[in-house]
Amino acid sequence: MTGMRHHRLLISGLGLLVALLFAVSLLIGYAPLDFGAALSDLLAGRESLPALVLAELRLPRAVLGAAVGFSLGVTGAALQGLMRNPIADPGIVGVSGAAALGAVVAFYFGFSATFALALPLGGLIGAGVATVFLLMVARSGADTATLILAGVAINALAGALTALALNLAPSPYAALEVVFWLMGSLADRSLVHVALALPFMVLGWGLVLASARAMDALTLGEDAAQSLGFSMQRVRLLVVGGTAAAVGASVAVAGAIGFVGLVVPHLVRPLVGHRPGRLLLASGLAGAALTLGADIAVRLIPTRPELKLGVVTAIIGAPFFLAMLRRLKVEGP
């Protein structure tokens, strides 16, 4: 184990990558923008057109890209560690789908119009219910197959209920918007969305990252972790609460973007010496980088209207998922 220095280097490298992609995300758009003028107007507080585009359209998109990606990466790593299961990912095990259902009910039936926080809270409740249910399945000694099947069931149910809710919603546009909730997108999000979701996401990150040391102990099994002085009750509470807050708020403003939480921890794991505690922060940063990159890609691919973000992450993630299932089968569960 190369130790702390190596880890610090990795974290700074990933942080730099996120900062770079964040800047590229600000530079890329649908209309030519004098970026220098926009930035200086914005910093000087002048109400100019380029400053408006930068602050109200490109900034929220980049901030949400990084924050949503961090949420998916960090919770993917935490769920994999807690359930000691390489398949656990908010998308595959149904947490994102359930969050979408909660957000859809809050948004289309007017709750969030009267009480803005209802939108992230709806997502949070949906994600929380699904996470608690999954943890109960995982704790009863379920193997990988059972966990995937539970995820398939939650996803199917949440997807069907989301479609039902959208069909019952009073707006004639609602039924067409199921794609946004199932695939996710950052198009035309605003600072209002950032203000609604970011506090919950940051809270979620804090809770999940606080479980880092216990995660390392958990590799030895729950009993061993307990004997080392870690309260399992507390770890579960941290991860479930953190996942519900971070994924719930992410999905409420960006829809259910799949596969980020699955792919990222597996890519990063060899780089952190297979230590689940260190994996958390590194996965969050890598998730942010992947999501920002995918969101840059959807804007560069010349289709109108632009591709949903989940299309790109699924094209990257689904083959990865299949390859991993094959390896699991060869090696045995």
Query: Nearest 5°: phi and psi at 273?
Result: 65, 30
**At its nearest, how many Å lie between other proteins and the CB of residue 48?**
4
Query: Rounded to an integer, what distance in angstroms lies between the CA atom of residue 295 and that of residue 309?
Result: 6
Looking at the Cβ atoms of 54 and 134, the one nearer to other proteins is 54
Whether residue 147 contacts residue 92, with contact meaning beta carbons closer than 8 Å, is answered with no
The verdict on 115 binding other proteins (CB under 8 A) reads: no
For residue 292, give the 3-state DSSP assignment.
helix
Single out the residue of 15, 29, 86, 199 in contact with other proteins (rule: CB under 8 A). 29
The stretch near other proteins (CB under 8 A) out of 17-25, 28-36, 137-145, 316-324 is: 28-36
Whether residue 120 contacts residue 64, with contact meaning beta carbons closer than 8 Å, is answered with no
Looking at the Cβ atoms of 10 and 165, the one nearer to other proteins is 165
Whether residue 123 contacts residue 100, with contact meaning beta carbons closer than 8 Å, is answered with yes
**At its nearest, how many Å lie between other proteins and the CB of residue 39?**
13
Single out the residue of 27, 149, 176, 228 in contact with other proteins (rule: CB under 8 A). 176
**At its nearest, how many Å lie between other proteins and the CB of residue 68?**
16
Q: Which helix (H) or strand (E) holds 90?
A: none
The verdict on 222 binding other proteins (CB under 8 A) reads: no
Number of residues in contact with other proteins, rule: CB under 8 A? 41
Q: How far is CA 185 from the centre of its chain?
A: 12
Residue 249, amino acid: A
The stretch near other proteins (CB under 8 A) out of 15-23, 56-64, 81-89, 256-264 is: 56-64
Single out the residue of 95, 137, 180, 212 in contact with other proteins (rule: CB under 8 A). 180
Distances (CA, A) of 109 to 56, 112, 126, 171: 26, 8, 16, 9
The verdict on 301 binding other proteins (CB under 8 A) reads: no
Contacts (CB under 8 A) with other proteins, residues 32-51 = 32-34, 37, 41, 46-51
Query: Rounded to an integer, what distance in angstroms lies between the CA atom of residue 310 and that of residue 40?
Result: 34
CA dihedral (248, 297, 29, 265) positive or negative: positive
**At its nearest, how many Å lie between other proteins and the CB of residue 289?**
24
The verdict on 177 binding other proteins (CB under 8 A) reads: yes
Contacts (CB under 8 A) with other proteins, residues 225-284 = none
